[in-house]
Amino acid sequence: MVDASGAVRARWPVRGESLDARADASGGGFAVVVDSNAERVVPVRFDLASGALEALPALPQDEPSIGATCIYRDEQGHHHVFVLASNGLAHQWAIRSSGQALAVRRFAVAPEPEHCRVDDRHSRLFVSDAGGVWAHPAHAEGPDAREVVALVRPHGSLQKGGGALAVWPGGVAVLDGARLVTFSLKSRIWHRVATAPLPAGSDPRAVALAGGPSTGRLQLLAYDDGRAAWHGLPVSMRANVGAEDPRLPVVRPRVQTTPVLQFGDAADDPAIWVHPNDAAASLVLGTDKKRGLAVYDLQGRERQFLAVGRLNNVDLRQDVRLGDERLDIAAASHRDALAVVLFRIGPDRQVTELARVPVGYKDIYGLCMRRTPAGEAEVFVNDKDGRTMQLRIERDSQGAVVGRRLREFRLDSQPEGCVVDDGASRLFAGEERRGVWTMSAEPDNMLATDRRMILPVGPLLRADVEGLAVHREGSKAYLVVSSQGNDSYVVLDATAPFQMRGAFRIGMDMEAGIDGVSETDGLDVTAMPLGPAFPKGLLVVQDGRKRMPEGPQNYKYVSWEDVVRVLSLP
């Protein structure tokens, strides 16, 4: 550690390379370096004010050799380390406050990577190799994908290949032999901005930035290994600070469920059952699209599984009238039987299949339930072709459970998620590529002629529109919508004029070892207090990518009081 006058403040003896660092406003910071002798990646804490360096335990090394390493500081302020092996496998680690490293995920990059850097603001990992420069999602919940930034000629503009990297607001700079080339992203395509030659005879090994957003100007510097000096380059650019999307607030999950059994697109949609006498004994039902229906407790443990086949969406209503009985009923769309499967939830917390109601749709898909003012159970079930059927669950003259068709209407394209606000007799239906509609839930409105688009796909809601749920407490009700396209959740009033309240994301709880949430399909929410962890209610969401460690999909539990806090809900 060297101060501005050139005096050494602290020293840690190591044969190091591939250094990266992040400093914070308090003068502390986090760095990572490769110990070349031990062939290990070592995180380092530092304090500029006290002049302290502290080497943390080396990261586990699962690959034979290290190509590059770099740091990512996420939107929650957590530090991550990317370790890129020479065989093209990248390992992402999250570092706890104790210094313990948690394995987040593994994914493929180009073989023989040489350098990497992360744009924290846009959660973008840049990797350079002999063939060019690539960009990967850096967020722990990001997809395992990549895009081309620059390629070596004749396929691109680079002459020698991708060298050392530096990130500047709006783009990336890369050493290309004896010149420095800058690139920026415009209309989802990377464009070359400028090229600056280095002094003749220089041996460039690193590139860095001078200045920052506070000055409004940035200056690129290249390190000449032969002369042991930094060269200021005639490539400067104004910091592109205002063009960035605003960051959404983040809440942390309190609990995660046992993962489903199989990898792939399996978990889909939850429903919350509130125990009538003991809130702590409440349950969460979750569909497994490959196997059936799972039943979890409030600690996330699977306590029952019903292997009934491929279920997509599930919903439930409590204390409904069915013939001479009053009981709690769950309904799920069955994609093999092309039917609505009904389940009874008993006072002993056991779930049993009650009946199957054929629907006649060729591609049955989404589903939600309604409890009428008279206490009857109704089901809305849709098909991928846009049709939605409303059924009333009742017993026929022989006592069999059947579904009596009340009405059918159609959206213009594929729907899935829907929810009924029983208190207002309003149906909310998601059209995946277009937005959220609302209409009367009463069956006498045969063609749903009063339907109204209240939340179109746009800057806040990104397709696909997926799970919908209503949090109602007395006269106050909120609609929660899964915005799958940007891994977030939109909240608006569930009553006219449907005022927008904001959006949020679900991040990781590092200390509890619970990963964040992405690509949510279904969700459910209740306003009922469910114990100290969920005093204002519970939000349950499906997690499309299980990280930390990687595994099959599961469900995450979020305390509604955390949503109230980050969105300042009235």
Can you say how many angstroms the Cα of residue 61 is from the centroid of all Cα atoms in its chain? 27
Say how many C-beta atoms besides its own lie within 10 A of residue 258's C-beta. Answer: 17
> Is the pLDDT confidence value at 386 over 90?
yes
Give the pairing of strands 66-73 and 79-85.
antiparallel
Same domain, 226 and 254: no
Which H or E run includes 57? none
Which H or E run includes 370? strand 364-371
Phi/psi for 198 (5° steps) reads -95, 160
Per-residue confidence (pLDDT) for residue 131, from 0 to 100: 95
Domain enclosing residue 105, as ranges: 16-238
Choose between 187 and 192: higher pLDDT. 192
For 149-175, how does the pLDDT look when each residue is reduced to its tens digit (9 = 90+)? 999 999 999 999 999 999 987 789 999
Same domain, 353 and 415: yes
Is 10 part of a structural domain of the chain?
no
Say how many C-beta atoms besides its own lie within 10 A of residue 549's C-beta. Answer: 12
Per-residue confidence (pLDDT) for residue 238, from 0 to 100: 53
Query: What is the rounded CA–CA span in Å between residue 50 and residue 28?
Result: 9
Q: By CB neighbour count within 10 A (0-12 exposed, 13-18 middle, 19+ buried), where does 301 fall? A: exposed
| Range picked from 44-48, 184-188, 561-565 for highest mean pLDDT | 561-565
Provide CB contacts within 8 A for 188, sequence distance 6+. none
Contact 525, 469 (CB under 8 A): yes
- Please give the average per-residue pLDDT across 551-555, as a whole number: 97
Same domain, 376 and 471: yes
Per-residue confidence (pLDDT) for residue 404, from 0 to 100: 97
Is 171 part of a structural domain of the chain?
yes
Same domain, 220 and 287: no
Tokens representing 79? 């530090």
Contact 140, 104 (CB under 8 A): yes
For 296-350, how does the pLDDT look when each residue is reduced to its tens digit (9 = 90+)? 999 999 999 999 999 999 999 999 999 999 999 999 999 999 999 999 999 999 9
Phi/psi for 280 (5° steps) reads -65, -15
Query: What is the rounded CA–CA span in Å between residue 339 and residue 383?
Result: 11
> Is the pLDDT confidence value at 254 over 70?
yes
For 182-191, how does the pLDDT look when each residue is reduced to its tens digit (9 = 90+)? 999 988 899 9
- Please give the average per-residue pLDDT across 400-410, as a whole number: 96
> Is the pLDDT confidence value at 243 over 50?
no
Is 198 part of a structural domain of the chain?
yes
* Residue type at position 387: R
Query: What is the rounded CA–CA span in Å between residue 292 and residue 452?
Result: 34
Per-residue confidence (pLDDT) for residue 245, from 0 to 100: 57
* Residue type at position 22: R
Phi/psi for 236 (5° steps) reads -130, 155
Is 7 part of a structural domain of the chain?
no
For 103-150, how does the pLDDT look when each residue is reduced to its tens digit (9 = 90+)? 999 999 989 999 999 999 999 999 999 999 999 999 999 999 999 999
Contact 528, 554 (CB under 8 A): no
Query: What is the rounded CA–CA span in Å between residue 225 and residue 219?
Result: 19
Provide CB contacts within 8 A for 136, sequence distance 6+. 90, 107, 109, 124, 125, 126, 127, 142, 145, 146
pLDDT band at 234 (very low <50, low <70, confident <90, very high): low
pLDDT band at 242 (very low <50, low <70, confident <90, very high): very low
Same domain, 234 and 257: no
Is 11 part of a structural domain of the chain?
no
Question: What's the Cα-to-Cα distance from 420 to each of 315, 380, 386, rounded to whole Å?
Answer: 10, 9, 18
> Is the pLDDT confidence value at 213 over 60?
no
For 517-532, how does the pLDDT look when each residue is reduced to its tens digit (9 = 90+)? 999 999 999 999 999 9
**Residue after which a domain boundary falls, among 182, 206, 238:** 238
Same domain, 438 and 527: yes
Phi/psi for 538 (5° steps) reads -135, 135
Query: What is the rounded CA–CA span in Å between residue 474 and residue 570?
Result: 13
Per-residue confidence (pLDDT) for residue 241, from 0 to 100: 42
Q: How many domains does the chain have?
A: 2
Per-residue confidence (pLDDT) for residue 168, from 0 to 100: 83
Query: What is the rounded CA–CA span in Å between residue 329 and residue 403?
Result: 13
Question: What's the Cα-to-Cα distance from 64 to each of 38, 60, 61, 512, rounded to whole Å?
Answer: 12, 12, 8, 31
Is 6 part of a structural domain of the chain?
no
**Residue after which a domain boundary falls, among 182, 213, 238:** 238
Same domain, 464 and 509: yes
For 74-113, how does the pLDDT look when each residue is reduced to its tens digit (9 = 90+)? 999 999 999 999 999 999 999 998 999 999 999 999 899 9
> Is the pLDDT confidence value at 236 over 70?
no
Query: What is the rounded CA–CA span in Å between residue 160 and residue 176?
Result: 6
Whole-prediction pTM value?
Answer: 0.92
Query: What is the rounded CA–CA span in Å between residue 553 and residue 225?
Result: 48
Place of tokens 């969700």: 523
Same domain, 219 and 276: no
> Is the pLDDT confidence value at 3 over 90?
no
Same domain, 437 and 331: yes
Same domain, 232 and 260: no
> Is the pLDDT confidence value at 216 over 80?
no
Strand order in the sheet with 179-186: 165-168, 171-176, 179-186, 189-197
Say how many C-beta atoms besides its own lie within 10 A of residue 287's C-beta. Answer: 28
Tokens representing 464? 């696909």
CATH of the domain at 74: 2.120.10.30
Same domain, 354 and 457: yes
For 423-481, how does the pLDDT look when each residue is reduced to its tens digit (9 = 90+)? 999 999 999 999 999 999 999 877 777 899 999 999 999 999 999 999 999 999 999 99
Per-residue confidence (pLDDT) for residue 515, from 0 to 100: 97
